[in-house]
Amino acid sequence: MDPASALESAHQLLNDAILYHEGEPVGTAAALDNSVAAENYEECFVRDFVPSALVFLMEGKPEIVRNFLCLILELRNQQSVMAGHERAPGLMPASFKVPKKSDASATPSADFGDRAIGRVAPVDSAMWWMLLLRSYVLTTGDLALAHSDDFQDGMRETLELYLQESFETSPAMLVPDASFMIDRRMGVYGHPLEIQALFYGMLSTAQELLISNDENKRLLRISKKRLQTLRSYVRIYFWLDLERLNEIHRYKSEEFGTGAVNLLNIYPESIPGWIDGWLSPGSGYMLGNLGPGRIDFRFFSFGNLLAILFGLTTEQQAEQIMNLYEYRWKALFGLAPLKICYPAVSGDKWAFTTGSDPKNVPWSYHNGGNWPCLIWAFVGAAIRTGRSELARKALDITLDRAPDDNWPEYYDGKWGSLIGRRSNHGQVWSAAGVIIAHQLLENPDSLPVFESINFQ
């Protein structure tokens, strides 16, 4: 398909996916595919709507984004008791369903993970909501919405919940497995990078959008402190390049007391074999996860790209991540965009990490599949680091592939050449991601949607 027709097909899918409530557009369905495996793909997922919303903002159609932001705020009151356990306000839904047209009086119903496969809590939703609010305010100038009582209450409740001390021993946020885009068991419990990037983005946003008054003083102070400590911690301890790898390789362990260098008691024996020779001089990345005695060396694309976009990495680290993409292009970008994580886990490790999940077999879905929806973050991060040529190459590959394959949700295979065995077609965030990527390259005026957060 030529690029113009490809973009037209993306727009068509996005527009067809718009969901209406009481005659107003309020979101987009996750996929338009009559044969989808799970019925909740008809629903609007908060994380999936973000790329759709960025397109609407870039194209001067902010109403749907405003309606969505207001609706999510309302829906957070629908939180149900799960297994007898009543949860704190501040969590926002993973997705919501709009009632059928014939049932106009009914209200949309939200899912807080209580209906979702695996019953996972969507920790990322409230953070995406706040980040989207920031993009909305930046593009429309409608600060009044963020400053309204309801929105200030919503932000406060979320910050109270997310800043509550639990059992963390570092500034990084502690979460259960599957609490974000990777919403199935994948060994991403603890302190996954994507959550840290979103947390950092949300805390920075709070500094901009919470009104500085007596009521908010304490939250503003602790969120500022946390974002500073989180940033230093991630920049130092999540970072891996050749120098750091050598350090870890020769780490002393069992260090007791305050002068320890190997703070988390990482045993060098836990370094996986594949990493030797995998990094080039001048490249590096943020590790997937970090906890006591544990480094997850897997490379997770979205976390790394969001860390660049939100300014959680240093500029040099951002460049080194892009160098790694260039150096390991086939492995990390592949024949269809974009590896979600590398490498896949297999054998006993797969059984143990995923609970023997047939959807997450090696090099498929969350376990090393390729996801076109990540293209917007890749192109945004590449442009931010001055690597437009990589951004262009990435978009060309995507335009060559995804529209002809009818916008799959994901691809399978080590190099990503196969349409995912259980993948939906008509996956809306695959199409929205391509439109954003194209806009960012063609029209730099559209950049304010993620004008970088540079909070000191």
- Binding stretches for ligand GLC (CB under 6 A): 30, 45, 47-48, 181, 183
Q: Cα separations (Å) of 443 from 64, 146, 405?
A: 22, 27, 26
* In contact, 369 and 416? CB cutoff 8 Å: yes
Q: Taking phi first (over 0 means left), then psi (-120 to 50 degrees means alpha), and beta for anything else, what does residue 293 get?
A: left
What three-state secondary structure class fits 187? Answer: coil
E-state strands within 33-105 = 44-45, 95-97
**Residue 339 Cβ vs ligand GLC, minimum distance, rounded to whole Å:** 15
Euclidean distance between CA atoms 11 and 9, whole angstroms: 5
Residue number, 206 or 377, with CB nearest to ligand GLC: 377
From the CB of 34, what's the least distance to ligand GLC, in Å?
16
DSSP code per residue over 274-294? GGTTTSPTT-EEE-SEEETTE
* Closest separation in Å from C-beta 426 to ligand GLC: 11
Helix, strand or coil for residue 170? coil
Cβ partners under 8 Å of residue 153, min gap 6: none
- Give 100's DSSP letter: P
Contact at 8 Å (CB) between 206 and 130? yes
Nearest approach in angstroms of CB 173 to ligand GLC is: 18
**Measured from the CB atom, is 184 or 226 closer to ligand GLC?**
184
Least Å distance, CB 183 to ligand GLC, is: 5
Give min distance, CB of 48 to ligand GLC, in A: 5
Q: Is the previous residue joined to 441 through a cis bond, with omega within 30 degrees of 0?
A: no
Q: Considering the complex, state which of residue 47 and residue 401 has its C-beta at the smaller distance from ligand GLC.
A: 47
H helices within 100-142, ranges in order?
123-140
Q: Which of 200/407 has CB closer to ligand GLC?
A: 407
How is residue 226 written in tokens? 């946390």
Count of all residues that appear for the chain in the document = 456
Q: State which residue, 241 or 357, has the beta carbon closest to ligand GLC.
A: 357
Q: Which is nearer to ligand GLC, 94 or 390 (CB)?
A: 94
Which SS3 state, helix, strand or coil, does residue 386 take? coil
Q: What is the nearest approach in angstroms of ligand GLC to the Cβ of residue 206?
A: 24
Cβ partners under 8 Å of residue 200, min gap 6: 227, 230, 231, 234, 307, 310, 312
Q: Which two tokens stand for residue 69?
A: 């932001």
Burial zone of 269 (CB within 10 Å; 0-12 exposed, 13-18 middle, 19+ buried):
exposed
Could you give the CA distance from residue 99 to residue 371 in angstroms, rounded to a whole number?
A: 30
User: Judged by CB, which is closer to ligand GLC: 340, or 394?
Assistant: 340
Q: Which residue is nearest to ligand GLC (CB)?
A: 30
Asked whether the beta carbons of 30 and 11 are under 8 A apart, the reply is no
* Least distance CB 47 / ligand GLC (angstroms): 5
Closer residue to ligand GLC (CB): 49 or 151: 49
- Structure token pair of residue 392: 């262009």
Q: How far is the CB of 7 from ligand GLC (least distance, A)?
A: 21
Q: How far is CA 207 from the centre of its chain?
A: 21
For the chain, the farthest-separated pair of C-alpha atoms sits apart, in whole angstroms, at: 68
Q: Considering beta carbons, is residue 136 or 429 the nearer one to ligand GLC?
A: 429
> Least Å distance between CB 359 and ligand GLC?
9
Closest contact distance (angstroms) between CB of 92 and ligand GLC is 14
